[in-house]
Structure formats: structure tokens, C-alpha cells
Structure 1
């Protein structure tokens, strides 16, 4: 019914929230009620105006339920045809400015006070000044009494801006594989000078023509600080470290760290995965991430969030298809093979295996038939030689696989004390050689540590951050975040709480493990001040 009525303030936001609520997962069962989400999306599609289009574009990035995504894609495709633009342009044009009068800032009079909404480092915040111009924690009582609706509306904008920033950051991160480019004039209007997207775009490195540049002091500048002034028709695209000179990549990393610029996702510090000699010799498959034990439901959520198709492996199934990611613009499909593991805790009440074991990663033509009964069928299309896969595609797909293992592996769980049937694997993963993501942490920490207050208590070796406390000395593994302590490398279990990451500058968002490692290091350097009994009992 809402879709048939004239749009009211807040209607689009409410319908989008309903869709998200209906898709919220019930453990071991799935979405609460996907048809309700579909109905909310169809109602949004009937509404005119930028607000409804913005919510649809945001949902298209954040929703992972396959059926709902298909509905969203159809709705946005229809909107694109109606507007005479491409599907990608709808996602860009649908980003609202939320009334921001300049990039990342809105100033609004409310009664005799002033509200200021600012967006910095990917977060929106609301502050207040009273009638004397003094900053206060909250609006004065007279403003709260006479302008309750305006205050509520501003709080709603802050919440919406936060959700939209997260969605747009994820969308921008996917543009590396989308081969998206713009003319300079179009890009500047849609990104650099957009009141909301500008807060993300101005922290990213772009290629104007083939010149890498970053926004600084009111103009685009190259690595040496010289202004870059492209013509209106110059080609602009996101910069990616693969294929760039190592000195250039290192230069941008140091620039971000020196000026304390936090990128919305890893770009300058992005891991690059190159073909190994073993992979060249293997021909059509990579076993780099094979043999890991993953929590299946966590893998499922991560895969969907990164644009992969993944069906939960059920105990009643005889067919266990791989996780797949379609890359039609490149003419390939990536497949990451996983199979159910029977050694662990079995399956959920609905019959889904709790754990899977990873296998090989392959690339195929988009329409290839590849498996039968969960196994490679030699009668079907053979995999493409890895040497024929574009380096950017190979690197980004391998990065996804590294993410799946790094987050969903049972070896990354600090509370896995016993390990049960996975004890040997848990130990080898939790304290073994570093994967590419952890090597990036090592590289960054080598430059960040000297700036920290605990620098004189820390040092790095090839796998660990060593911390000297008053009671013990500690080794924090840079891959898993697990801790060994003196004497005898005794395991120390510290389960991080939500939001417990260290409050120090990091040049990119999204690496929670790095934040937790730094938080643990700061806590352990002052181990005599620890009061948590679950930790102090282990230090005795």
C-alpha cells in the first residue's frame, strides 16, 4: 500500500529497513521472511524520487540473499532503462547528498542553536553549538522541547549516512574488477565533489590518464605533490597496485602513513597475489588455499558479501558444488572447491555441515559445466590455464580466497582451546607461516611501531609481534592474532570483545585482526593493570 501512496518523508527509509529486517538470518534456518523483503523492494520501486532510488542502490550492495538480489537487479535494471543510463550509472546517480552543503559537512540552524553533521574517516557525527556559539554535547533543553522532530530527522540522517557510507565503500572496492572508468568531468561531479561520495573518493588514489594522484589541499596531486589537472575528457579509473612499480606502491603507502590518511578499504596496502612456480607447473589449478578447515556458515556469509555464489552443503546432499564468482567482463568464472568435513561436530539441526575443507581454485569459461556429484568431471570443460588469467583477476580472486580462510578458519578462533579433531590444524594455522594478508600487517607494523607509546617494549620477527610485559613476555601471531607467552610458549587465550580494537591510526579500514593485534599488544605491555579474571588466571 505504501508503494501506491504519495511518498512521505521517511517512507523509503522505512521500507528499506523492513527489507533488511526480513532478511536478517535466523541461526541455522536462513532469512526471517524473504517474501516480505521482496514486497518492500517492489514498494520502493513504485516510489518516485531520489530517496527511493538511493535505498534501492544501497540494498543492491548490502543484500546477499540470492533471490532478493535477483529482484533488486531487475528493479534497478528497469530504473536504468527508464532513465536511459547503464546499470552501473544508476548505482552512482542513486547516491543522495543528504542535504550536505559541502563535501562531508552540513550546518543547520535548529531554534537558537546550530547542528553540524560531519563525515570524517567513514563515520558520520552530529555536534551542537548553543546560542553563544559554544560547543555542547547535546541540544539545549529549549531546542529539545520545541524542535523534537527536527532533531529526530537529523539523527535519522546520521544513521542513514553511516549505512550508505558502508555500502558505497563496498561498491567502490568491487570496481577494480568492474573495469569502470569515467571522463574526468563526469567523475569529478559524481565522486570527487559529491557531498557524500567525496568523503570516500578524496581518500583514494586515482589514475587520471596514467598519472596516479590523490586529493590534497584542494587539488589532485601526484606522489611528489605536484598538481594534476586533467582535461574534462581525460580517462579516470581507480589505481591498483598490481603492475605498478614497487617504488611507486611503497611511496603511496608511506605518503598515507605520513599524512595519516585512512583509506576506506585497502588500496595502497592491498595484497597482490602473483602466480607461483608451483601454480605455473600445475597448469589449471591453484592449491594455495587448499586443506583449510572453515566454519561453513561464516564462509557462506563472506562469500555472498564478496559477490560469490555459495550453497550450504547439507548432510542429505550428494552434490557439493564449489563457490563460484562470475566475471563476465573478463570472460571467466572462478571456482573455489570446498567439501564437507566429517571429523568435527557434524551438522546443524537443519542438516547443514558445520565445517568444510577447502580444495583447489580454478577458472573456467562462463558457460562451462564443471562438476558432477561434487567432483570434477573429466568429461566436462577443462579449467583454463592460470597463465591465461589476467593478473588483476587472479590477484583479486586469490585475495577473496585468502579472506575466506583468514576469517572463517577454525585456526583463527582464539577460544578453540582443545581443537578436538582439528588440534594439529589449529596449531599449524594459528602459529604457522604468514599468509599474504599477514605479511601486509608485518610490513605496516614495521613502520607504525616506532610511533607507538609501547615501541620500546615491542619488536617484530618473521611471524610474531613480541611484547615485553611486567609479568611475562608475549608473542602475538600476525596471521591469527593468537598469543604465546613465556615461559615455554604457553598459550594465552584472549577473546576480543566487539569494538575492542586499538585506537591508533591505521591507513585503511576493514582489517579487524590488525586492530585486535594492536589492542592486545597495548594491553599486554601493561599486563599488571589487567583486571579481567579470565586473563589474570592464565598469567599466574
Structure 2
């Protein structure tokens, strides 16, 4: 509202008051509503001051007139809200409480919103309620607190929140963990602790904050605080106890954290770091970090600030369990800001101990109570509990006093050893999480250029109670001799034992003769060793004639259509840096993997696909799909390339007169680096390509991807699929359906009773007789492989899908799924 309009309304107010025409004055003020859209912003402060300065009798008459207009047929929702606000503005000191029921109804509706506009002046409704001695509903308190966190909110709103009575809930209602906290935290000491936690608005705790927290903890007792607070953190991230209203284009606010409660969570994390170290505390903080970084549609991570607080808390705890959580998080976190804090914490710990970052990660892996590689036994009365590692999973088993296996937890253990049972179950979960993290860390060691002294390697890897379960299933090179672990010793291809040595490295098939690679595959099979990831069967990507011709770039994985969000997650998990492409006028660098040990930077050029907002993008504007282009290599310190998010030529961004740097010839890239980088890119395409989606026979939106879907879903095999084919040649003869299966070219042929089927070895898509008709079978998200006996490595989901489909189709007369039957 322009100042001239405000001045006019001030004159009009004085005129109507002199005339005593309060109904007309009420109409005049509400007519201003279309101009302001109900937002009584700062331009109206002078008018507000004028209205509040009117005599009490005048304000009372104006209030009555506004109440009449509220109930008039002409008043719309904004005008009615405006009438309530105006009555709130003029009501101070008036004896009559006008429109109290309507005000309560407005506040009740307000409690279902996440925020409200500052300029709407709705805080006056709350002030009225407090002035007449009625408490505000907890949901209403919550929306005022959330709104007051905005830096640009008016001082009146922040002042209202500051003067809320001590009886209002701390923290906000609506989240399960918060309501559990309010139920558990009875008494002024607990309330003071929660209030202090809710005041954690800085990036890290100050000495003064810590001092106050230690005093509050001391009043309650450290053990009591830990055992009370940790269950609260276990409820973080659960669905809200009541949902907030969400606009059509708003993000999923009900899956995000309440921002006021997020401050309380930060404070609770810092509080826990002041307690004596305990494994349960480290577990809870690690889980809080992971939960806080889960993605919310339209928003990204739920609350990175809470995740950061959890990492800071872990870094402040001097214990093996806390260091182990940091090391585990280092392999799992992909959100850049939080990952940087984890890296800094580990670097600081390494520096303090005089170690390298790699060494601190190795030493950070605890045994979790395992006394030998992969297992431990505990005697609980007459019962023996045994934790054993099978692959990348830990299993808790039981034996009776007679030594016989017991399927479930014995009643005596539940009754007499409840605490021990709880710790055993927690250890199994910890082992599972750490095994996954360590498997991923080991898989990244191929490019780390790591070597170990023999004794150090045996201690940290081969004989480590937990890491040893992975290391003993891998191949290593000891002083130039390749060895594997079998029958209690390191052995050569001819099973000769190898004792001692000086230098150890992780074996890689690049540069090895094909006969040697096949021989080691046979050796693993002979000893029935399932590797935690592909090593002996690892794909090798050698320079092709086409790449020699292009010289400085590879088109091997160009012209693919990838699901952007899936690609982004995969890239982050493999150590690549990438920015999501939005349908906006902006540029972004390619997906990048920096290899400082080699002085190199790998780039995968990508661009957003599509032009229709809402069809080719999410509601938040990020592209649903990407188009792929070249892979290039540069010196690690070369200026960065960038291109428009919607597509276009990549150009090098030069600063301060820097000269452009040419891409490096592919022939100059070490074969190991080239192979591992291209393997990553093959993984991105092999997993994220829309060609893998069995429901895309129609070619997706507008059918424009039909040709690509067909060519990818049934086309030539990539290196991963070729590896899969070689494995199936050895595996199929052992299957119960071997007589119904044959491998021909790109397909596994399966003979059923109704039809013969062809399963593509790359995508897992199916064609059936007659005429190669497409058969759509959508695998479950958690599909597991059939009982096919020995498998040489873990982690190939497409292999599991292919085998599952083969088992199903070989017995197609037993299929009961109506969706599949309708296609047969």
C-alpha cells in the first residue's frame, strides 16, 4: 500500500470518527483489504498506531461495527480475517471480548499451517487470547514459534513468542519424538534442559552453552539423562502425529523436521556429547545423522543442520564407538556440507594421533565383541549365544546346554539376561552396518594406491575380527605374489601356503593375463569363496580403437537417458561430485571424480532432458532425466568446465587470466584409472538408465524414448552384462531348471510350458514367443537371488533379477499373478 493511500485512510478515519459513522468506517477499513490482500504490512504502522490511539469508547464502537461486517454476506475469507486482525489491534483495554469464538476458530485453522505471513499481523489474535487469560493451543504455539524463526519477522511476533507463559510445551507438538519427550520430561529441571536444548541456534556449542548444559545435566544425573533422551532420538523422523496443510506446489513439509524442534534436536545432540561415553550414545547419534539427511520431495535433505550437530557431537566424544560411527558415516554420507564436517573430524583425530586419514579409518573399526574372525560365543546361564558373520550379515544363534541349536531366544535368557540380550542384538545391528561400510571402503581402495606392511595389514585386515571376514574373501598381492585365503592360510593358485612378506597391495585384474584371471576365478570357486564385491570377476575397460581415434574423450557411455535422482545418488556413493540440474537459467559443472593420488580429474558430461515443466521436472523444478555425453580427463588442478543445465557446449571457466587446459589423451591415463572410472560410468548407466524400466514399453512421456528404450533394453551387452554372461555359463548347469535354459547371444532363453522366453542379460527385460512379444514383469524392490548354490560375488541385483525371472518362467503354468497371466 503506497504511503499516499495510508495518508488518505488516516484522514478518512478521523473524518468517520468525527461523524460517528462507525459502520462506514468499518467498511472503509475492510475495503482496503483488496489492496493489501489482507497483509497489514509496515506501511500501515502509522494507521495502526492511529487506531490504537483512539479513545476506548470509540474503539469499542468500531469493534462492534467490524464484528457486524465480519458476519455480513459480503465479507470474504480475507475480509473476515482482516476484521479479526483489526479488532485485535484496537482491543487492548476493552471490556468486551469481541468475536472470541471466531478468533479461536481462526487460530485453530492457523495451527494446521507450517508458517503464516508476517505482514498478516495474526500475532494480535494470540495476544487477545493471552490478554483474556486463555492459554494458546499447543499447535498454535508451534506455528507462532516456527514463524518467529524467520529472520525477517517483525519484532512484535518474536516478542510474543518470548513472553509465552512457561506452561506452553517445549518442544513443539506434532512430532512423535517431541511428544514422547514432553511426556517423559516432567518437572522444572527437565523443562529447563529442554528449553536450553531448543535454544541451540548456533552452528556449534559455545563454552557458555556447554557450561549451562553441564549444570542442567548435573541436576538430573548423567545416566538418567542418557537413558531418557536416547529413546527420543530413536523416534526422530517418524510420521507426524498430525499433518500440516500443504499447498499444491509446496514441498512435503510433513516429512521434514519442525524447524523449532530441529533446534532442540541439535541441542540434545550436543548435550549427549557431554555425558560419559557410551556405545548407545554413539549409535543414536549416528542414526540421527543418517535420518536427518534422508531426502524430502522438493526440499532435499530433511535437516542438514541437525545432521551436522550429530557429527559435531560424535567428534566431541572420545571413545572407540564414536570414532567407529564417524568412520562409518564417512563411507555413507553424500551430502557435501556434512561430509566435509565428518572429514574434518577424522582428519583432526588422525592429526592428534600422528596418523594418516587412511590409517585412522582402519583403526576406527571396532571388533564389536568378536573374539575371532567372524564369530564370538557368550555363555548366558546354561545357554550359549553365538554371533557369526555370514557374508555381509551377522547372525545371532543359540545353543542349549546340550549343545543343540535353538531356533528362538530361550525364555531363560529373556528373563535373566535382558541387558546382555539387548547388547547382543545391538552388536548384530552394528556389525551389519559396519560390514556394509567397510565393503564399500575396500571397493574404493583400488584407486587409493595403498600399500601396507605385512604385519600392519594382517593386524588391520586379515586377522581383524570384523574386517577379516571381508579381507579373507579378497585377493591380495604379497611381495608380487597373488594370494587368497583358504583353509586357514594365505595360498597361491596351487594352494601352496605363503608365510610372511614385506609389502601388501589389493589385487586388481587390470594388466593380468586372461588365463591368470580365469585361474583365480576357478580357485575361488574351488574353495567356495564368495567375494564381498566383484574383484576376480571385475570388469576391465581397456582403450578401444574408437577412443584412440577421438584421443581426448570417450563416447562409450554417451547418448543415454538416465533418471537424474538415481544417478545423483549413485555418483555420490562412488565418490563423484555432482550438482542436480534444474530447469532454470543456470550453468553447472559436469559430474566429477577427483583423483588426487593420481593428479587427475575425471568428468562425465551430462545435461537436463526435456522442455515441459512438471512433466520433465519434479514440482521443485529439477529434471527427472538426464542425457549423457563424453568422459574426459584433466589435471586435477585444471580450471573447471561448465555448461547450461538445459544443455549446450561445455566451456572452461577461466579466472584471473588463466589459460585453458586441454583434456588429457586417454592413452596417457593409467589403465587402472581408466578402467575404474569407466566402470563407475557403466554402473551409472546400467542402473539409472530408463531402458532398465520394464514398464516403459510405451517410451515414457509422449513416447519419445521408445527407440532408446528398445535399443538399450534389448541391445548389445555392455561390459557388466558380458561379465554376467560369463558367470551364467558356469552357473546355469547347476540350476534345477538347467534343462530349460540356454544362453544365446544377448539372451538367456528359458523354455516354459506356455511359451519360450528370452531374458536380456543387460536390462533383464523379457521377450516371449510368438513374435518376440514384450513381457512386463516388475521385480520387487528387495528381490533376492534364488537358491542357485554358490555365487562368486555379492551385489549384482540384475543377476538376481534374471535368475528370479528364469525360475518363474520355467514354471509358467504355476504363475498366479493376474498382471503376468494377462500377458501370457
TM-score bucket of the superposed structures, by smaller chain: over 0.9
| SS of residue in 1 equivalent to 2:321 | helix
2: distance between equivalents of 1:201 and 1:373? 42
| Distance in 2 (alpha carbons) for counterparts of 1:22 and 1:33 | 5
CA deviations 1:35-66 (Å, max 9, x no partner) are: 11110111111111211111100000111111
Between Structure 1 and Structure 2, which shows a larger proportion of helix residues?
A: 2
Match of 1:403 in 2: 683
- Asked whether the equivalents of residues 22 and 36 of structure 1 are also in contact (C-alpha less than 8 Å), the reply is yes
Structure of greater relative contact order (alpha carbons < 8 Å, 6+ residues apart): 1
Question: 1:453: which partner in 2?
Answer: 736
2:356 to 86, 89, 105: 86
Measure, in 1, the Cα distance between the counterparts of 2:472 and 2:525.
15
For residues 715 and 642 of structure 2, the distance between their equivalents in structure 1, rounded to whole angstroms, comes to 35
Tell me if the contact between 1:370 and 1:381 (Cα under 8 Å) persists in the aligned partners.
no
* Residue equivalent to 1:307: 575
Alignment partner of 1:214 is 2:498: no
SS of the aligned residue for 1:157 comes to: helix
Q: Which moved more, 1:110-119 or 1:458-467?
A: 110-119
Q: Hey, what does 1:339 align to over in structure 2? A: 607
Instruction: Give 1:532 shift.
Output: 1.2
Q: 1:343 to 1:248 in 2, by over 3 A?
A: farther
Deviations along 1:295-351, one digit per CA (max 9) or x if unpaired, are: 000000000000000100011142132100000010110000001111683111111
Q: Which residue of 2 aligns with 1:252?
A: 520
Gaps of 5+ in 2: 1-270, 653-658
For 2:248, the equivalent position in structure 1 comes to none
Q: Quick one: which of 473, 489, 499 aligns to 1:229?
A: 499
Greater mean alpha carbon deviation, residues 169-178 or residues 138-147: 138-147
**Alignment partner for residue 435 of structure 2, among 165, 176, 183?**
165
Specify the alignment match of 2:542 in structure 1: 274
* Shift in Å, 1:155: 0.8
8 Å CA contact 2:575–2:593 kept in 1: the answer is yes
Map 1:49-448 → 2, pairs under 5 A: 49-231=319-501, 234-342=502-610, 345-374=615-644, 375-377=649-651, 380-419=660-699, 420-448=703-731
Partner Cα distance (1:458, 1:130) in 2: 45
Tell me how far apart the structure 1 counterparts of residues 784 and 559 of structure 2 sit (CA, whole Å): 31
1:476-525 per-residue CA deviation (whole Å, 9 max, x = no partner) reads 00000000000110111111112343232321111100111011111111
Task: Report the equivalent of 1:8.
Answer: 278
| Alpha-carbon distance between aligned partners in 2 of 1:27 and 1:526, rounded to the nearest angstrom | 41
Q: 1:331 to 1:208 in 2, by over 3 A?
A: same
Give 3-state SS (helix, strand or coil) of 2:822's partner: helix
Number of aligned positions between the proteins: 537
CA distance in 2, matches of 1:210, 1:450: 36
Match of 2:307 in 1: 37
Counterpart CA distance in 2 for 1:480 and 1:449 is 18
Alignment TM-score, normalising by the size of structure 1: 0.98
1:370 positional shift: 4.0
Specify the structure having the higher radius of gyration (Cα): 2
CA–CA distance in structure 2, aligned partners of residues 15 and 95 of structure 1: 17
- In structure 2, the partner of 1:499 is 783
* 1:143-201 Cα shifts (integer Å, max 9, x gaps): 21222221111111111100000000000000000001101110001100000001000
- Cα distance in 2 for partners of 1:367, 1:280 equals 24
SS of the residue aligned with 2:588? Answer: coil
Could you say what secondary structure the match of 2:432 adopts?
helix
Shift of 1:141: 1.4
Q: CA deviation at 1:131?
A: 2.6
Distance 1:36 1:387, change over 3 A: same
Distance 1:417 1:411 in 2: 9
- The alpha carbon displacement at 1:260 in A equals 2.2
- How big is the shift at 1:372? 4.2
Q: Which residue of 1 aligns with 2:803?
A: 518
Q: Secondary structure at the match of 1:538?
A: coil
Corresponding residue number in structure 2 for 1:468: 751
CA distance in 1, matches of 2:643, 2:712: 30
Separation in structure 2 between the aligned mates of residue 373 and residue 104 of structure 1, nearest angstrom: 50
Match of 2:820 in 1: 535
Taking the aligned partners of 1:135 and 1:328, their CA distance within structure 2 comes to 52
Q: How far apart are the structure 2 equivalents of 1:458 and 1:28?
A: 46
Alpha-carbon contact 1:340-1:357 (below 8 Å) kept: yes
1:488 maps to 771
Equivalent residues of 1:176, 1:238 under 8 A apart: yes
* 445-454 or 403-412, which deviates more: 445-454
Deviations 1:109-139 (A, max 9, x none): 1232111000021211011112332211112
SS at match of 2:377: strand
Provide the rounded CA distance (Å) in 2 between the counterparts of 1:365 and 1:95.
34
Measured in 1, the distance between the counterparts of 2:495 and 2:417 equals 47
Structure 1 unmatched ranges of 5 or more: none
CA–CA distance in 2 between the matches of 1:428 and 1:508?
29
How far residue 382 of structure 1 moved from its aligned partner, in angstroms, is 1.4
CA-based RMSD: 1.2
Local SS of the residue matching 1:330? coil
* 1-structure distance, mates of 2:459, 2:289: 31
Q: CA deviation at 1:230?
A: 2.9
Q: Partner of 1:333: helix, strand, or coil? A: strand
Looking at structure 2, the residues matched to 293 and 135 of structure 1 have their Cα atoms a distance apart, in angstroms, of 52
- Work out whether residues 362 and 384 of structure 1, in 8 Å CA contact, stay in contact via their aligned partners in 2: yes
Q: Secondary structure at the match of 1:476?
A: strand
Distance 2:650 2:821 in 1: 51
| 48-57 or 430-439: bigger deviation | 48-57
In structure 2, how many angstroms separate the alpha carbons of the residues matched to 1:313 and 1:476? 34
SS of corresponding position for 1:487? coil
**Deviations along 1:261-299, whole A, 9 cap, x unmatched?**
110000000000000011011111000000000000000
SS of residue matched to 2:388: strand
Quick check: 1:502–1:516 contact (8 Å CA) kept in 2?
Answer: no
Contact 1:471 1:527 in 2 (8 A): yes
Contact 1:112 1:143 in 2 (8 A): no
